[in-house]
Every structure is written in structure tokens, then in C-alpha cells.
Amino acid sequence: MAASSRQRSTIAIIGLGNIGGVAAGCLRAADRQDIIVCVRQPIERLYLERPEGDVEVPLRALTNPADAKPVDWVLLCTKAQQTPSAAPWLARLCNSSTRVAVLQNGISHVERVAPLAGDAVVVPTLVYYNGERLGADRVRLRHVAEHDLVAADDADGRAFAQLLEGTPLRVLLSREFSTLAWRKLLINTVANPITALTLQRQAVFRREDVKALCIAILEEAVAVARADGAQLAEDEAVKTMSTLLTYPPEAGTSMYFDRLAGRALEVEALTGAVVAAGRRLNVATPLNAALLTLLRAVSDAASAG
Ligand SMILES: NC(=O)c1ccc[n+]([C@@H]2O[C@H](COP(=O)([O-])OP(=O)(O)OC[C@H]3O[C@@H](n4cnc5c(N)ncnc54)[C@H](OP(=O)(O)O)[C@@H]3O)[C@@H](O)[C@H]2O)c1
């Protein structure tokens, strides 16, 4: 008993929203590691609805970074724009033996998080599951793809996959991580901005004029992705649009819900990443730059309000 408890590794989950809530509930229910959640509001129990059967788990929560100690793994589950606010947590949780898995959208996980993580290793991941925080102590997991997360097929990615063994979260290890990251960003490059700016759910993509605009936005992003080394199909923009059209018309997007709620938008990690990479790689992105200006104006007004 004492020996096995000594072997349990420690995981700190920063941000108990849609994604962090599901990760915390799944890991706590599997009970293979010691889990703490780093939150702004205290919480003692979490109810997780999941296809494998609902569970209610006790949580050990910290609300003050000063109470945190170094852990084996950090799962960073804030929105990308909230990453700087997690710096005090990362400073206390990380040492040279820590790995920080970043469960955020975008392509620049390492650049975003490494400056805040000291000597820790940053492990980028792509999230495919749908998480929904239904209330203060309730979250729902939906599987929407064959895998729930993707990590690079290297030593750190494999260690991340092992961490989630015994949970319902299935990790795909891929040698094409950066291509998959770009593919996911392509969807987000149209799905999020268009729903947020039009304040319409995904039914808006059934309009022929919106479809044509989306293809043009995607063509720009695909050119940037190729210049960045992504291995994409000839007709990647059209394929991406076809994928988007398989989603239910009544589905929203996280940027749409953030705009409805008057919250800041995850704009720099999505459209901002395309425009920044275009500038770096000398690929013109006028449509994405126009979207970026509008989204920044919306997001800044929300932050100021
Ligand atoms: N939702 C999905 O199904 C989905 C799917 C794929 C990818 N993603 C990506 O996953 C990432 C996380 O998204 P999400 O939907 O989980 O966002 P979210 O629901 O907004 O959750 C973020 C959580 O982080 C917390 N937080 C922010 N700063 C913090 C800090 N300094 N200390 C402690 N907690 C902090 C927030 O707390 P407060 O509530 O106090 O603000 C919130 O609970 C994003 O990059 C998103 O694009 C989401």
C-alpha cells in the first residue's frame, strides 16, 4: 500500500472549464494518480456526465498559487489568451522534472507556454473531445472523433498517452502532429470567426455566399500552412469546408458562445496565428487580417466592459 502510494504521480490541472473539467473528472475517476485542480473558485466535488457512465468524484482544489508545489504533470486547460494569467501557477508547479501538457487550440503551444514554465518540458496536444461545463460542479464529455486528443509520437507524447490510460479519453500518437495541428486550425479559422461575427450558429455555413467567403479564407490559411511545412491535400480548403458542413446546423462554437457571454475571444491563437505565420513566411492573408481586426475590436470591447 505504502509502496504503491509512493509511486503515484502527481497531476495539476489548471483551469476547470469545459476541457479541464472533463480531464479532471476522467483522471480522478480512474484514480491512478494524485490530482489537484488549480481554480479561481473553490470546488469539492465534480459530477461528470459521460457515455461510459456518469461519475461523481471528490476533488482537491487549490485557489492560491502560493499553496502549490512542483508536480510531475501539469495539464494547462485555460483558453489560450488566459495563459499569461496562469503564470503564477506554472511558476510554483514546475521544476525540471515536470511536463506541461497544453490542452489548447492553435499551433504555437510551445512558444506560448515555454517562457512561463521554467525548466519544465512543454507537451503540445490537440483536443478533439467536446467538453461542456454545465454548471459549477457539473461537466459533460462527448466523443466527437475516433480519438479525443492527439500528441506527437515521441517520448513526451507517449508519456502523455500513458497518463490517460484507464480513462475514456483516447490519445492518438502521430508523427504528423504539426500537419494535424494546422488541419484543426483550418476548421477553427472559419468556424469560430464567422459564427462569432455573424452571431449565428453553424447553419450560417449553409449560405452560398458565406461558403464562398469561407473557401477564400481557407485558401489563404492553406497557403500559409503549406509554407509552414504542413502536408495538405490539393483541395484542402474545399475538404475542410465539407467537413465543417457535416456539423449540426444548430451547433455553436466556443467563440460564438464567448461573444454571446461578452467574454474575450480566443482570437490571437486562431486567426491571429494564421496572420502571424503568414507574415513570418511571406504569404499574404488579407481576408484573415480583416477578420482579425474585427475580432480584436469585439474582443477588446468585451475585455474592457
Ligand atoms: N470546449 C471544447 O469542447 C473544446 C474543444 C476543443 C478544443 N478546445 C480548446 O481547449 C481550450 C480550453 O477551452 P475550454 O472550452 O475548456 O475553455 P473554458 O471553458 O473557458 O475554460 C477555461 C477555464 O480556465 C479557467 N482559468 C482561466 N485562467 C485561469 C487562471 N489563471 N487560474 C485558474 N483558472 C483559470 C477559467 O476559469 P474562470 O471560469 O474563472 O474564468 C475556466 O474555467 C481552448 O484553447 C479551446 O479552444 C475546447
Q: Where do the structural domains in the chain lie, given as residue ranges? A: 2-174, 177-304
Residue-level pLDDT at 261: 94
Residue-level pLDDT at 190: 98
Active site residues per annotation: 184
Characterise 15 by phi-psi region: left (phi > 0), alpha (psi -120 to 50), beta (else). left
Nearest CA to ligand 1 atom 45: 104
Grid cell of 254 as nine digits:
466556443
Q: Categorize the per-residue pLDDT at 1 as very low, low, confident or very high, splitting at 50, 70 and 90.
A: very low
- 203-239 pLDDT, tens digit per residue, is 999 999 999 999 999 999 999 999 999 999 999 999 9
Whether residue 46 is predicted with pLDDT greater than 80 in this model: the reply is yes
Q: Categorize the per-residue pLDDT at 44 as very low, low, confident or very high, splitting at 50, 70 and 90.
A: very high
Ligand 1 centroid to Cα of residue 29, in Å, is 21
Mean pLDDT over 82-97 rounds to: 98
Ligand 1 centroid to Cα of residue 209, in Å, is 32
What is the CATH code for 177-304? 1.10.1040.10
Q: Is 131 in the pocket of ligand 1 (CB under 6 A)?
A: yes
Mean pLDDT over 280-293 rounds to: 98
Grid cell of 88 as nine digits:
503564477
Alpha-carbon distance of 122 to 127, in angstroms, equals: 16
Q: Is 151 in the pocket of ligand 1 (CB under 6 A)?
A: no
Mean pLDDT over 52-77 rounds to: 98
Ligand 1 centroid to Cα of residue 156, in Å, is 23
Ligand 1 centroid to Cα of residue 230, in Å, is 27
Residue-level pLDDT at 58: 98
If one counts every other C-beta atom within 10 angstroms of the C-beta of residue 219, the result is 13
Residue-level pLDDT at 214: 98
Residue-level pLDDT at 6: 57
Grid cell of 262 as nine digits:
461578452
User: What mean pLDDT is reported for the chain?
Assistant: 96
- 256-282 pLDDT, tens digit per residue, is 999 999 999 999 999 999 999 999 999
Orientation of helix 286-304 relative to helix 271-281, angle to 10°:
140
CA distances from residue 237 to 13, 102, 229 in whole angstroms, order as listed? 35, 27, 16
Nearest CA to ligand 1 atom 38: 40
- 114-127 pLDDT, tens digit per residue, is 999 999 999 999 99
Whether residue 128 is predicted with pLDDT greater than 50 in this model: the reply is yes
Q: Which residues sit opposite 121 in a β-bridge?
A: 99
**Under a CB-based contact definition with an 8 Å cutoff, are residues 99 and 156 in contact?**
yes
Ligand 1 centroid to Cα of residue 80, in Å, is 8
Mean pLDDT over 88-114 rounds to: 97
Characterise 199 by phi-psi region: left (phi > 0), alpha (psi -120 to 50), beta (else). left
Residue-level pLDDT at 7: 75
Mutate to test the pocket of ligand 1, among 38, 63, 82, 185 (most ligand atoms within 8 A of CB): 82
Residue 215, SS3?
helix
Could you tell me what percent of the chain has a pLDDT over 70? 98
- For 160-196, letters b (16+ CB in 10 Å) and e give bbebbeebbbbbbbbeebbbbbbbbbbbbbbbbbbbb
* DSSP state, residue 72: S
Residue-level pLDDT at 3: 44
Q: Cα dihedral sign for 191, 194, 198, 204?
A: negative
Whether residue 151 is predicted with pLDDT greater than 90 in this model: the reply is yes
Q: Is 268 in the pocket of ligand 1 (CB under 6 A)?
A: no
Q: Is 135 in the pocket of ligand 1 (CB under 6 A)?
A: no
Residue-level pLDDT at 101: 98
User: Is the pLDDT higher at 7 or at 83?
Assistant: 83
Q: Is 65 in the pocket of ligand 1 (CB under 6 A)?
A: no
CATH 3.40.50.720 fits domain 2-174:
yes
Nearest CA to ligand 1 atom 47: 105
- Write down the H helix ranges in the chain: 2-7, 18-30, 87-93, 109-113, 155-163, 177-198, 208-227, 236-244, 254-260, 271-281, 286-304
Whether residue 2 is predicted with pLDDT greater than 80 in this model: the reply is no
Mutate to test the pocket of ligand 1, among 48, 59, 254 (most ligand atoms within 8 A of CB): 254
